[in-house]
């Protein structure tokens, strides 16, 4: 698995990583009303790391009736492209490009933009409300070298 991510970046507190979209392993919604769908509610978060791209995620079910805690696989896709058992985390790059994390490291992430470009960027965890501004743009590379990850 490599080195695990610092546990201080996980949880439900302020300034922790926020899950952008999560799709339950279950085939039906908790209230039994129909097929499960992707949950994009705010406040979804990572509880712990289980592997290099497997995490225990706490999220609100798509119908809004129940908080689920399941082991899901991190995918670098937009929420509407997720399938059962997957989740995504959005990062805003320093040029305001939206990307999705494909792999976490303690100080950097590998991510893929909506257009399909791959990047490795240093990330920051800001405060809710200013986390969509992108990174500072500082660093060695000329472009897309920092990013801001959504936080709770």
pLDDT tens track for 62-75? 878 888 999 999 99
For the chain, the C-alpha Rg in angstroms (whole number) is 15
State the average pLDDT over residues 2-8.
85
Per-residue model confidence (pLDDT) at position 142: 41
- Lowest mean pLDDT segment, chosen from 8-17, 106-115, 143-152: 143-152
Bridge partners of 149, per DSSP, are: 91, 125
What is the three-class DSSP state of 79?
A: helix
Segment 95-131, tens digit of pLDDT: 889 999 999 998 899 999 999 999 999 998 876 655 5
pLDDT of 137 above 70: no
DSSP 30: T
pLDDT of 22 above 90: yes
Cross-sheet strand order for the sheet of 21-23:
38-39, 21-23, 86-88, 67-74, 54-60, 45-49
CA atoms of 89 and 40, how far apart (whole Å): 11
Pick from 67, 72, 80, 25: which is nearest to 46 by CA? 72
């Amino acid at each position: 698995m490599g080195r695990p991510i610092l546990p201080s970046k996980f949880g439900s507190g302020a300034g922790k990583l926020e899950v952008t979209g999560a799709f339950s392993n279950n085939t039906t919604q908790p209230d039994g009303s129909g097929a499960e769908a992707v949950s994009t509610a705010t406040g979804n978060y990572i509880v712990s790391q289980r592997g290099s791209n497997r995490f225990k995620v706490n999220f609100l079910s798509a119908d809004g009736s129940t908080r689920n805690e399941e082991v899901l696989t991190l995918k670098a896709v937009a929420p509407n492209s997720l399938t059962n058992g997957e989740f995504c985390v959005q990062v805003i790059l320093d040029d305001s490009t939206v990307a999705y994390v494909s792999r976490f490291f303690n100080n950097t992430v590998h991510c893929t933009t909506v257009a399909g470009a791959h990047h490795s960027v240093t990330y920051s965890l800001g405060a809710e409300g200013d986390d969509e501004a992108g990174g500072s743009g500082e660093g060695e590379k000329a472009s897309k070298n920092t990013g801001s990850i959504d936080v709770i």
